Structure formats: structure tokens, C-alpha cells
Amino acid sequence: MDLQYKYRKIPRSRIATFDIFSIGLMKHHAVGLLEFDVTDSRAKIRDLKRNGAKISFNAWIIKVIGKALAQHPEAAAFLCSKRKLITFDDINISILIEKEINGKKVPIPMIIEKTNEKNVQEITGDIKAVKRQVLTEQDVVLQKRPKLHERIYYHLPGIIRRMVWRFMLDHPKIAYKKMGNAGITSLSAVAQMNGWFIHKSIHPVSFGIGSIIKKPAVINDEIKIREILNMTILIDHDVIDGGPIVRFVKDLTRYIETGEELQLNKQ
């Protein structure tokens, strides 16, 4: 009996994903599986939209993550040597945008720069702009055309490609320019998932945004149905210890659950 099969070409951007996963396995990330009550925050977003604000939930999440990291820069620090860390004044966050190339949906990275300085509406505009960008198979990063050495990278053997990533991580200034100092991966737009996913990253800190699920919660000693956001956080334990991690997560939780940065005068 003849076998029935067909080959499918792997999108070029996926090659970098393979390498990042391999290098990410070598990082000493502490993993946190968190739940955030976003009921009140989502209500604020709906009110702002009814008043004409052009904002999105994901853009707001990026904003509050950037604000929390700006107040706890050690969480987004790079390891320079065994005795030295380097922190950057601005929080540049790498996210993935799903784009269609030749009829196939492919995740393509983009960097949102200075999230600590931008407001939610500006970040929303940045994301919408790249979603409208027309790409070809030659494009591997949003917002800019790939340079010659970046195109060559995808034709190199795997062992050489991973050496490139290790070199970049050994030189934090280069890494910061190319990929920012924080990363966000989101599956919430793909499907509803009642749980967490453990992603891999080479960033000092990264966030896996899951689904928003209605769950019972205790509010003022009463059980109520609330909208709960599942989120995974990876933080490089080589650059930050448990106490600072807890303080960072505490501030991030407060921002997410109170709707920080969602006042009308900030839009």
C-alpha cells in the first residue's frame, strides 16, 4: 500500500523559535503561576471604549507590566558577569503578532519600545500599525526590514545559530537592542484555556498571558463570580532573589487588579 503524505515548508520565523527554546532551557528561570482578578479593570476598559478611547486589553497589560518593571528594574536586568548586572532605563517589551504570509498565519516578533513612557492608547496604536503591515517570507521581524546578516542567520546550521544567541546574551547591550529586556507571549487570542502554559524565553523576565476565565472568588466574605486572568511569569533567578521578586509581583498584581493607567486623563 502506497503511503499518502506531503511535506510542508516551515516558516522562516519558526527557525528562531527553535533556537530560543534550546537556549531558554539553559536559563535559570523561576516560574510563577498566577491569577489576577481583572473584573474591575475590564469594566474600566469597556467604559473608556464607550467614551471613545481606542485601547485594547493587551495593550493595557503591556503598559502595566512596563510600569511595574520600571519600578523594579532589577527584575529585567541582564547578567553581565558573575559579579555585575546591567539594567536599562527603558522597558522595551518583545511581543508576538500573528501575521498571514502566503496564506499561513505565522507569529512574528515586534518590540514595543519605552513602554514605561507610553500610554495605553499609544501602545494600542503601535500594535494596530504592525498588524496592518504587509509582509513577505523575507520578513522575520516587524517594524523593519531584515539586514543581510539577519537573512544569512536562517541559512546557518543550528549549532552556529545557537552560538549567535549565546554571543548576544553575553553582550547585554546588543541583546537589549535586538530583543528588549522583557517578553510577552499570549495565547488568549487563539483559544480559551482554563489553565496555564509554561513557555520558554531568553529574556530576563517574560510573561505567558493565558485566558480570562470566570471563576468563583471570595469578595468581602461573599462568593462571587469574577473574571480571572491566568498568567505565567518567568524571572531569571541569576539576577534577582525571592524577596525582590515578591515585591515586583505584588505591585504588578495591584496594577492589574485596580486598573492602573486606565484613567481618562491618561488617554
**pLDDT-based confidence at 266, cuts 50/70/90?**
very low
pLDDT of residue 70: 97
pLDDT of residue 148: 66
Over pLDDT 70: what percentage of the chain? Answer: 87
Query: Does residue 243 contact residue 56 with C-beta atoms inside 8 Å?
Result: no
pLDDT of residue 67: 97
The boundaries of the domain holding residue 193 are 19-266
E strand residue ranges, 82-204: 84-86, 93-101, 104-112, 182-186
**CA 200 to CA 26: how far, in whole Å?**
10
Which runs of consecutive H residues, i.e. helices, occur in 56-147? 57-71, 120-131
Q: Evaluate whether residue 149 is within a structural domain.
A: yes
pLDDT at 171 exceeding the cut of 90: yes
Q: Evaluate whether residue 146 is within a structural domain.
A: yes
Q: Evaluate whether residue 13 is within a structural domain.
A: no
pLDDT of residue 63: 97
What are phi and psi for residue 80, nearest 5 degrees?
-85, -45
Residue 182's domain is classified under what CATH number?
A: 3.30.559.10
**CA 30 to CA 21: how far, in whole Å?**
16
Mean pLDDT value of segment 13-41: 88
Q: Evaluate whether residue 208 is within a structural domain.
A: yes
Q: Evaluate whether residue 141 is within a structural domain.
A: yes
**pLDDT tens string 204-251:** 999 999 999 999 999 889 999 999 999 999 999 999 988 999 999 999
Q: Evaluate whether residue 10 is within a structural domain.
A: no
Q: Evaluate whether residue 4 is within a structural domain.
A: no
Number of domains in the chain: 1
Q: Evaluate whether residue 89 is within a structural domain.
A: yes
